[in-house]
A and B are shown apart, each in its own frame.
Chain A
Amino acid sequence: MNASLNDALGSKKTFLIAVPTQKYPEVSLDLASTLDHKFSRIAYISLNKLITPLKRSLQGKGINMNKFFFIDGITKTAIPNPPEDPNSIFIPEPNDLTKLSIAITKTMQNFDPDCFFFDSLSTLMVYEDMNIIIQFVHSIVNKINAYGAKIVFTCLAEGEKEAQLIRDLSLILDMVIRVE
């Protein structure tokens, strides 16, 4: 997976990585590591893992945290007033798509990333129906494309809904990679 993604990151702009549930934690770290090697400034959109354990996991993998900025959509569900962090924006809930979109714009303006990592669309699927998710992905892909950065989305590989999501997004995104 890393080899195909690494090669494609040079020429293509938008990606979906479909990951088996059992491998998800390990693969999402590998992806972050790949992006760390490839880019100088990465915006990590996290809807699944609280920020402190996420940073700890990334540091444990030897990832350079100075290259990362976080848009965190999960920590406030556990800690209503998280400590201020100059390298993070916190949004109240993972399904607050308006605030998420605004946070992405602010990140472009203030951090100037060359790549976004969206972890994960499967979390959004708990809260929103397929049409809303597709529209949202379309909207942020257009925004990020116009800005000139790349974006890597993740989702789980199993399930009817996920299969439909992957089919629909393959029409919008440059490349879909299925992890075996």
Chain B
Amino acid sequence: MAEINELSSFEIDALKETANIGTGNASIALSALLNQKVLLTLPETNIINAEEVSKKISGQNQSLVGIYTKAKEGLDGNILLLFPITDALNLIENVRKGGSTEKKDSLSGEDLIIMKKLGAVLCSAYLTSLAKFFEQRIIFQQPNVISVLGDSIADFMISQIGDKEKVLLITVGFNTESKKVNGDFVLLFTLSSLNPLLQKLKQKMGMN
């Protein structure tokens, strides 16, 4: 397969739209879990070399909690949901719907399980919509909960991806109606793994 280094404007727009579809579905799933509206910001989309990712998503000079997963079949990339710790705790409290009212400042073992399940629900919502759209099987690994600081976020996103590999980086902010849960979806896929999906899209639209 020829290496992808450039995308046409149609391909870029198509990828942005599929990103919107995915994050839209994930936000619907989150909204259902929290029983409140989830508002999304406009996605920021970049096609860059993997080594440039840290310039785009670093500057997070605070300690953050993330739910991290890696797509392992059908796509090559990583998904991360990021929250400040207080928002992560609010998220869990919302999901529990009237659990303990004790003020907490760390994630218990049970909280970690809830976050991993949340991660599985949201990633599944995101990737399932992509899989349906592209008629492609996509599987991801069991999500993990991580705590990251500063440029460590970029390290997770480009783990196991070569520095010079071209990647599609999408960041979408979200917050709940109550403003108590604010976070970011950060999605990164290698262009080489997106190529077969783009070919299918073109076939669907009679462009091949």
Given contacts A77-B68, A78-B159, A126-B106, contact A24 B150 (CB under 8 A): yes
Asked whether B151 is an interface residue with its Cβ less than 8 Å from the other chain, the reply is yes
CB pair B63 A77 closer than 8 Å: no
Chain A residues closer than 8 Å to B61, beta-carbon distance: 21-22, 24
Chain B interface size, under 10 / 10 to 19 / 20 to 34 / 35 or more: 20 to 34
Using known A-B contacts A77-B144, A125-B106, A127-B107, determine if residue A25 contacts B159 with beta carbons closer than 8 Å: no
B166 at the interface (CB under 8 A from A): no
| Contact flags A41-60 to B (C-beta < 8 A → 1, else 0) | 00000011110110000000
B62 contacts chain A at the CB level, 8 A cutoff: yes
Confirm or deny: B75 has a beta carbon within 8 angstroms of a beta carbon on chain A: no
Q: How many A-B residue pairs have CB under 8 A?
A: 69
A164 to chain B, nearest CB (A): 10
Nearest opposing residue in chain B for A53, CB measure: B155
In the bound complex, how far is the Cα of B76 from the Cα of A14, in angstroms? 44
Flag whether B160 is at the interface (Cβ < 8 A). yes
CB proximity of B164 to chain A, nearest CB, Å: 15
Q: Is B149's CB under 8 angstroms from A122's CB?
A: yes
A128 to B147, CA, bound (A): 12
Chain B residue, CB-CB nearest to A74:
B146
Instruction: List the A residue with the shortest CB-CB distance to B88.
Output: A126
Contacts A21-B63, A122-B63 known; A50 to B147 CB distance under 8 Å? no
CB of A129 within 8 A of chain B?
yes
**Is B105 an interface residue, CB under 8 A from the partner?**
yes
Q: Could you tell me if A25 and B155 are in contact, using CB atoms closer than 8 angstroms?
A: no
Contacts of B148 in A (CB 8 A): 48
Q: Chain A: which residue is nearest B78 at the CB level?
A: A78
Which B residues touch A86, using CB under 8 A?
A: none
Report how far A80 CA is from B159 CA in the complex, Å. 12
Residues on A with C-beta less than 8 A from B112 are 95, 127
B155 contact set on A, CB distance < 8 A: 49-50, 52-53, 78
CB distance from A116 to the nearest CB of B (A): 20
Whether A21 contacts B152 by the Cβ 8 Å rule is no
B65 pairs with A126, CB closer than 8 A: yes
A113 at the interface (CB under 8 A from B): no
A25 touches B156 (CB 8 A): no
Interface residues of B in 152-174 (CB under 8 A from A): 152, 155-156, 159-160
Instruction: Say yes or no: is A123 at the interface (Cβ < 8 Å to chain B).
Output: yes
**Chain A: which residue is nearest B66 at the CB level?**
A77
Given B65, B70, B147, which contacts A78 in the complex, CB threshold below 8 Å? B70
B114 in the interface (beta carbon within 8 A):
no
In this assembly, does A156 line the interface, its C-beta being within 8 Å of a C-beta of chain B? yes
Partner of B106, one of A22, A74, A94, A129: A129
- By a CB distance below 8 angstroms, the chain A residues around B159 are 50, 52, 78-79
The 3 lowest CB-CB distance pairs between A and B, nearest first, are A126-B147, A77-B144, A53-B155
